[in-house]
A and B are shown apart, each in its own frame.
Chain A
Amino acid sequence: MHVREGTLRAYLDKQVTPEEKRQVEEHLRTCAACRERLARLEANRNLAAAAMSELQPTQATRLPHPSVALARFRQRYSVHEHQEGRKASMTRQGALRRWRPVWIGLVVFVIASLFVFYPPLRTAASDFLGVFRVRKFVAVPINVAALENPTFGNLLQSGFSDQFTVTKEPGPAIPVASLADASAALGFAVRLPSALPQGYPAQPNMSIQDEFGFRARVSMDYVLAVREALGKTDVPIPPGLDGAVLDVTVPKILAANYASERGWLTVIQAMSPEVQLPPNLDLRQIGEFGLRLAGIPAAQARAMAAAIDWANTLIIPVPLGYASYQEVTVAGAHGVFLEDSAKEGARHGLLVFEKDGIVYGLEGPMSAQEMVAVAESMF
């Protein structure tokens, strides 16, 4: 039996245990093939080491004193404004920024939760037949014990964005003055609540977040790493996943922010984001795979996967113990209300629903009942 490549590589760096070292050396004495592999690994390592030594900064600039750097940092990011907003829950900008990862995160989750993605631009439209559009939201409770595994956390953080490229870079958010302007910019009749709880102004600050798009490519390396990190190596990987490419377009989003001492209420609306999928991808299988990785037992995951309309349903993972959820009805449309129970102090709710091709989201310090009432006053 030959020595694993990883072990040989670690041996080169003296990162093996004395026992491994002894075994490697014993094997190398009698195995020409492994000696050759080791030599190739060493050549590659030396090439990389020589190349990396070329990487020295040109400028011999002295770095500014940390306090100077910090001052620049504060100025650059208007930290003080942010800080005030933070106290009142979040700033307007904060709210917008928060939304972007939520959209990306949620949209991508559908395809199989946690896979990594990537590059080049321009879609050969004929390659993509399947189109995913958000029509429904379904909350799926996730057991966070598995997700608190730091290896998985790191993977999620580094890998999630690892393989995706922005195909449409968004411009800056643009303030809008009136409902008519907002409707014209978004291409549908924008709606605002007509009844708000006490303490909220009648007129919100409105701004439009620009359209953006990204392309993602599933890498098997990453899928395997996630599966391993979650300890679910027994869950089979669905066919067609490796190298699958998806194109996600998130249309312009209107955010209306209502300031109050209770905390910001943000109402967002947009046409449903669109995801283009490879034609041969079996969403149900991939959904089932995602559910199983999230810790749902095999039989249950199968039943759930079969019940979900994967082409139109956005799965919202709800970490048990950190957030609670309930299904609600808003003006006849089905929606999900999530409440952040991890946050001390002010409650923090999020309501999402789809009605007539438009996706709505409300976020603020309210109970389900209160927020549904606000949402219903939009129609």
Chain B
Amino acid sequence: MATPDALLLERWREGDEAAFADIFAQHYEPLVQLLSRLLGSVDEAEDIAQETLWRLYRRPLSPGREHNLRGWLVRVGMRLGYNALRERTRREKRQAVWESQAKAADDPEAAALAEEARREVQQALARMPFRQAQILFLRHQGYTYEELAEIVGVKASSVGTLLARAERAFAKHYKGDAPGRAGSHEER
């Protein structure tokens, strides 16, 4: 049973640029939204969404893989986004200064706190193996077990196990970040 994605991909493999434009139009924005949550920056999310679609452009998925274009895009985009996150975390650690993206906000103090809270979550994610960070993040963005199974590449029945493991690792890294803090930001 052909899905619209599959048809578009087939036409794209044959060199139909309009088909690629359709793929782009359908998938670009959701991907940017997902990635901007991970990265906290729409600009950066756009960069990565573009790079993801460029990979598809250069090398259209082969027949038999197109049953889930969205899954492929999420997987590749998450991979790139996660690398960017790690790279940034490393850089921040080196410089020990954080360029706050929140400078321009109306309430600088609240924005700085929000920024700090987000950065801690991102750092914890960046310290986890990619597959764990991916499943954790996507689940909490509302992806179903079936979708996660497809994206991560496991049986749906294994998702619970992976998720439990990922959440345990996250708790460790997140709390380990600031000893004594039980994950509640009100305490600070």
Instruction: Decide if the interface of chain B is mainly helix, strand, loop or mixed.
Output: helix
Provided the pairs A55-B40, A63-B29 are in contact, do residues A73 and B170 lie with their beta carbons within 8 angstroms? no
Kindly supply a per-residue 1/0 record for chain A positions 188-231, scoring 1 wherever the CB is within 8 Å of any chain B CB and 0 otherwise. Answer: 00000000000000000000000000000001011001001100
A200 to B115, CA, bound (A): 58
Using a Cβ–Cβ cut-off of 8 Å, how many residues does chain B contribute to the interface with A?
77
Task: Find out whether the CB atom of B53 lies under 8 angstroms from the CB atom of A73.
Answer: yes
B144-158 near A? 1/0 per residue, CB < 8 Å: 110000111111011
A363 to B165, CA, bound (A): 45
Whether the pair B164, A8 counts as a contact (CB closer than 8 A) is yes
B170→A6 contact, CB < 8 A? no
Binary contact readout A42-59 vs B (1 if CB under 8 angstroms, 0 otherwise): 011101111110111111
Whether a CB of chain B sits under 8 angstroms from the CB of A126 is no
CB < 8 Å: which of B15, B129, B140 contacts A52?
B140
The distance in angstroms between the C-alpha atoms of A61 and B42, with both chains bound, is 7
Task: Please choose the segment from A146-154, A245-253, A291-299 that sits at the chain B interface, where 4 or more of its residues have CB less than 8 A away.
Answer: A146-154
Asked if B129 contacts A154 (CB within 8 A), the reply is: no
Is A326's CB within 8 Å of the partner chain B?
no
Which residues of chain A (245-279) have a CB below 8 Å from chain B? none
Indicate the member of B28, B124, B155, B163 with the most A CB atoms within 10 Å.
B163
Q: Does A232 contact B (CB under 8 A)?
A: no
Distance between Cα atoms of A185 and B137 in the complex (Å): 45
Question: Which residues in chain A, 17-56, are within 8 Å of chain B measured between CB atoms?
Answer: 41, 43-45, 47-52, 54-56
- Chain A interface size, as a band, is 35 or more
Residue of B nearest to A44 (CB): B167
Per-residue CB contact flags for chain B residues 104-122 toward chain A (1 = under 8 Å, else 0) read 0100000100110110111
Neighbouring A residues of B79 by C-beta, 8 Å: 158, 161-162
Among B38, B42, B65, B160, the most chain A Cβ lie within 10 Å of the Cβ of B160
Cβ contact within 8 Å between A70 and B32:
no
A117 to B92, CA, bound (A): 24
Q: How far is the CA of A158 from the CA of B33 in the complex (A)?
A: 21
Chain A nearest CB: distance from B20 CB in Å? 9
Docked-complex contact A6 and B122, CB < 8 angstroms:
no
Interface contacts (Cβ under 8 Å), in number, total 191
- Given known contacts A45-B167, A47-B171, A57 and B36 CB-to-CB distance under 8 angstroms: yes
Contacts A9-B163, A57-B45, A94-B58 given; does A15 touch B75 at CB 8 Å? no
Asked if residues B153 and A66 are in contact (CB atoms below 8 Å), the reply is no
Q: A77-85, A235-243, A304-312, A330-338: which one contacts chain B?
A: A77-85
Contact of B42 among A59, A70, A162 (CB under 8 A): A59
Q: Is the CB of B75 within 8 A of A162?
A: no
Across-interface contacts of B134 in A (CB, < 8 A): 158
Do residues A154 and B131 form an inter-chain contact, with CB atoms below 8 A?
no
Residue contact A57 to B41, C-beta cutoff 8 Å: yes
Q: Are B171 and A4 in contact (CB under 8 A)?
A: no
Chain A residues contacting B137 (CB-CB under 8 Å) are 52, 55
B53: chain A residues within 8 A (beta carbon) = 73
> How many angstroms from the CA of A350 to the CA of B86 in the assembled complex?
36
In the complex, what's the smallest C-beta–C-beta distance from A142 to chain B, in angstroms?
Answer: 15
Q: Does B176 contact A (CB under 8 A)?
A: no
Cross-chain pairs A/B with CB under 8 angstroms, 20 sampled = A6-B158, A6-B161, A7-B160, A9-B163, A13-B160, A52-B140, A55-B40, A55-B137, A59-B43, A61-B42, A70-B24, A82-B57, A83-B15, A87-B15, A150-B65, A153-B153, A158-B151, A219-B129, A221-B129, A225-B153
Nearest 9 interchain pairs by C-beta:
A6-B161, A154-B153, A6-B160, A10-B160, A52-B140, A9-B160, A155-B153, A44-B167, A9-B164
Interface residues of B (CB under 8 A from A): 15, 17, 21, 24-25, 28-29, 32-33, 36-43, 45-46, 50, 53-54, 57-58, 64-65, 67-68, 71-72, 75-76, 79, 101-102, 105, 111, 114-115, 117-118, 120-122, 124, 129-131, 134, 136-137, 140-141, 144-145, 150-155, 157-164, 167-168, 170-171, 174, 183-185
- Taking A44-B168, A44-B171, A157-B75 as known contacts, 4 extra A-B pairs with beta carbons closer than 8 A to each other, sorted by chain A number, are A6-B161, A48-B136, A56-B118, A158-B152
Residues of A within 8 A of B (CB): 4-11, 13, 15, 41, 43-45, 47-52, 54-59, 61, 63, 66-67, 69-70, 72-73, 76-77, 79, 82-83, 86-87, 94, 97, 118, 148, 150-155, 157-159, 161-163, 219, 221-222, 225, 228-229
